[in-house]
Structure 1
Amino acid sequence: MHLRRHLAAYAFILAAVYPAHGFACALARGESAVVSGIAEDGTLTLADGRAVKLAGIDMPRPDVSKFEVVAGQSVTLHYGGTRIDRYGRALALVAFGKGPSLQERLIAEGIARVVPSGDMRLCMDEWLAVEARARAAGRGLWRDPVFAVRRADDLAGLDPLDGSYQLVEGVIKSVAKIRGRIYFNFDEDWRTDFTVTVAPAGAKLFKTGAWKALIGNPPAIVGAKVRVRGFLSRYNGPGMTVAVPEQIELLDRPMPDEKVKAANENGGPDVRARKPHAARK
């Protein structure tokens, strides 16, 4: 009885913080099943014996008590691509009732952060917006400085974080396309600055949507402020490799073409004459 009251109270809080509206991700609807248990890492166990990994999110410090609202509930799995991960778990969006998905609820409470992937791309815009509101409100993990958004120009601060998943903000100073890879440099010296690398497989995804025009005209993206997320690594300075465009959020749009032209005609630096940095070894 006490557990039921606790879950009912939590459901009420969620409804107040994040009103029910359903979810907009156009994913493939899968099967329905009853949730019989929740592991400490947030993996759901279904009554039919299957395990479910919540796709598209990361929970650095899972608080199981805060999403036991689905315990004993019938849920529907929705798939965006890969259905089974390498550990044999179903990789899915979990929907129940008429409200937002379980993933959205956890993101809204600051229990989870968004981890863009090829499977859940259709959900990313919505989830990133939900995460931004949770971060602005200082909910959950966003109260902890450990999960603060890092600065691209704080190289000394980024170095000790090698290998960890981070959010980093900065201004793109140059773009280079070399042998199928795209490099976003965040300072003048690519040998030491923070750099975001898009591998050839991911670069193909940047040829669609808003990124198509920007990547096709590098000066149009130079000067843009972005927030990028992924695992930090170190090679010629700290950096990240991204696989999907949703890992890079455009915060401040770059200078429109007409303003670039006007700046050049008025004797300003010819931004279109900027050359990409040399290829990395």
Structure 2
Amino acid sequence: MPPDRWIGGLILALMLWAMPGSGSAAEPPAPSGVLSKSSLTAEDLLAALGPPFEAILDRVDPDLALISRDGRSFVLADLWRLSRSHEGGDVREDGWARMAHALISTHLGQRFWVYPTSDAPDRYGRIRAHILFETPEGNSLWINAALLKQGLARAFPLDLPPDITRALYEAEDSARADHRTLWSAPAFAPMKAHDLMNDGSIGGGDFAIVTGRVFQATKVGGTLYLNFTADWRQDFTIRLNWPVRRQWPVAERTAAFWRGKELEVRGVMEPMNGLMITPISPAQIKILASPLADEEQDHGSKKSPAQMAPGILETKAGSKTD
């Protein structure tokens, strides 16, 4: 066996040994990132996406596209994957991306179930989906959540049922709490909104996770702008366009609802009056249940009981009219 494959196999074996719930249970274990409802399995959660179809894994491309034996291509939905070196990732990120590739490649030749999140393939002809593998031991492995739990990807949920969104975030939160893999690197840590005014290291096109307390919220036409300091021309901004706002209950579409809220938002940075993220799904924003660091008190907001309200992810379907 070539030395590089031997080393890669050793690394992967150590990863799998460290994965929670990797024992040979008699019944399929709850998937990585499943809700705290212990009775829920991956199949229970993913059933909300509709009936799956089967395929056999033939190969895994460097961009983590899964190719089935019949030639179909699948990409893991609702994740922001790590970059290889030729895509702009540094040596460390490239190594973690290779680990994610190796983890999926352990299932070559195995049957898997595909839960598509869209009826149409993307512009590259790939089907975006959640993938459930049947392991040789007869267990089920939700590979999307497994990558998050190992710190080998970041959650980027779009139009999903709330329970699946919550499960993905819980899987990521586990890796973040343990500083696992990518979360051990300061470069991947969530950034504070008020620090971005003077941070030249983040540019347009970069994926980022940002936390902060909303200082002012302004509605312009159908768009709501959330700013984190008094200087909206230079600070970090969240832009909530109407197609996203309308998915929340009426009370949560107003500027007053968002003032003083402590948020975590994720997405692609845009250079516009400072830096801006424009979510394309409500799931990209979480209302934090606990206060942020006291240093943010200097940026103009006061605590209110509303700041302790449940996060947006727990919002039930509401009226679609404004």
TM range, smaller chain = 0.7 to 0.9
Gaps of 5+ in 2: 31-40, 84-96, 291-302, 309-322
2:203–2:271 CA contact under 8 A, matched in 1 = no
Aligned length: 252
Aligned equivalent of 2:192, options 148, 151, 165: 151
Q: Is 1:55 equivalent to 2:77 in the alignment?
A: yes
Aligned equivalent of 1:20, options 29, 50, 61: 29
Q: What is the CA distance between 1:151 and its match in structure 2?
A: 0.9
Cα deviation digits, residues 156-180 of structure 1 (max 9, x gap): 2266332200000100112222211
Determine the structure 2 residue equivalent to 1:38.
Answer: 60
Counterpart code for 2:175: A
Aligned equivalent of 1:124, options 151, 161, 165: 165
Aligned equivalent of 2:251, options 213, 224, 228: 213
Indicate the larger mover: 37-46 or 98-107: 98-107
2:118–2:127 CA contact under 8 A, matched in 1 = no
SS at match of 1:196: strand
SS at match of 1:233: strand
2:130–2:143 CA contact under 8 A, matched in 1 = yes
Indicate the larger mover: 187-196 or 97-106: 97-106
Relative to the length of structure 1, the TM-score reads 0.80
Determine the structure 1 residue equivalent to 2:180.
Answer: 139
Q: What is the CA distance between 1:51 and its match in structure 2?
A: 1.0
Q: What is the CA distance between 1:194 and its match in structure 2?
A: 0.8
1:29–1:76 CA contact under 8 A, matched in 2 = no
Q: Distance in 1 between matches of 2:107 and 2:264?
A: 32
Q: Distance in 2 between matches of 1:72 and 1:9?
A: 22
Q: Is 1:199 equivalent to 2:241 in the alignment?
A: yes
Cα deviation digits, residues 212-263 of structure 1 (max 9, x gap): 43334x3343211111000111111111101111111111377236x9xxxx
Q: What is the CA distance between 1:41 and its match in structure 2?
A: 1.5
SS at match of 1:182: strand
Indicate the larger mover: 103-112 or 169-178: 169-178
Cα deviation digits, residues 69-98 of structure 1 (max 9, x gap): 322110010023344111001111001234
1:126–1:189: structure 2 CA closer, same or farther, 3 Å change rule?
same
Determine the structure 2 residue equivalent to 1:270.
Answer: none
Cα deviation digits, residues 176-219 of structure 1 (max 9, x gap): 222111211111121121110012222222x23xxx43334x33
Indicate the larger mover: 234-243 or 112-121: 112-121
Q: Distance in 2 between matches of 1:82 and 1:156?
A: 43
**Backbone CA RMSD of aligned residues:** 2.7
Determine the structure 2 residue equivalent to 1:251.
Answer: 288
Counterpart code for 1:215: R
Indicate the larger mover: 123-132 or 59-68: 59-68
Q: Distance in 2 between matches of 1:17 and 1:181?
A: 46
Q: Distance in 2 between matches of 1:43 and 1:156?
A: 37
Q: Is 1:172 equivalent to 2:209 in the alignment?
A: no
2:214–2:262 CA contact under 8 A, matched in 1 = yes
1:192–1:238 CA contact under 8 A, matched in 2 = yes
Q: Distance in 2 between matches of 1:190 and 1:42?
A: 39
Indicate the larger mover: 142-151 or 9-18: 9-18
Gaps of 5+ in 1: 260-281
SS at match of 1:170: strand
1:182–1:199 CA contact under 8 A, matched in 2 = yes
Aligned equivalent of 1:232, options 254, 269, 281: 269
Relative to the length of structure 2, the TM-score reads 0.70
